[in-house]
Amino acid sequence: MDYPIKTPEQLGSVIKGFRAARGMTQSELGAKSGLAQNAISDFEREPGKSSIRRLYRLLSALGLEVVVREAEPPPSWDKPSRSAPEW
By mean pLDDT, which of 14-18, 30-34, 81-85 is the weakest? 81-85
For residue range 38-82, what is the model confidence (pLDDT) as tens digits? 999 999 999 999 999 999 999 999 999 999 888 888 777 665 556
- When pLDDT is averaged across residues 20-35 and rounded to a whole number, the result is 97
Domains plus CATH for the chain?
8-62 (1.10.260.40)
CB atoms within 10 A of CB 32: 16
Does the pLDDT at position 37 exceed 90?
yes
Taking a C-beta distance cutoff of 8 angstroms, is the pair 61, 29 a contact? yes
- Which pLDDT does position 74 carry in this prediction? 74
- Which pLDDT does position 84 carry in this prediction? 63
pTM over 0.75: yes
Nearest Cα neighbor of 43 from 29, 32, 31 is 29
Whole-angstrom distance, CA of residue 14 vs CA of residue 8: 10
Taking a C-beta distance cutoff of 8 angstroms, is the pair 36, 30 a contact? yes
